[in-house]
Amino acid sequence: MYVKIKCMTYSKDFRQKVLAYKEKKGLTFDETSEHFDIGVASLYRWSDNLEPCETRQKPATKVDMEALKKDVQEYPDDYQWERAQRLGVGQPAIHYALKRLNITVKKNATTS
């Protein structure tokens, strides 16, 4: 059975309160983790950088984005699975790469 876990980001003020509580009580990271039911790794990250991450800081690894742009220009009407075969990746990788490039499904102004 596959269960999708919804990722949640803690707010900046909550992070500040947790770290202030830790300092005020003189607790360790482990004790603070148990008290608030938060992972120890999260507390370590918060102590280094309090700001929540809003964007991904990692480039695409599976799909060569320049090759995909060129492929879209050469074959504008192809399906994603056809692009995936040419670029040697799976269809979902093409889907997410097109999303990163803000390329949406072709929309016709007139009906066929």
**How confident is the model over 56-78, as pLDDT tens digits?**
677 778 899 999 999 999 998 89
* Cα separation, 76 vs 69, whole angstroms: 10
> What residues make up the domain containing 90?
65-100
Please check whether residue 86 lies inside any domain of the structure: yes
Give the tokens for residue 57.
């800081």
Please check whether residue 16 lies inside any domain of the structure: yes
Please check whether residue 17 lies inside any domain of the structure: yes
Single pTM value for the model? 0.51
Please check whether residue 29 lies inside any domain of the structure: yes
Q: Domain count for the chain, please give it.
A: 2
Please check whether residue 81 lies inside any domain of the structure: yes
Angle between helices 12-25 and 29-36 (to 10 degrees): 130
* Cα separation, 27 vs 5, whole angstroms: 30
Please check whether residue 95 lies inside any domain of the structure: yes
Model pLDDT for residues 36-57, shown as the tens digit of each residue: 999 999 999 999 888 877 776 7
Please check whether residue 93 lies inside any domain of the structure: yes
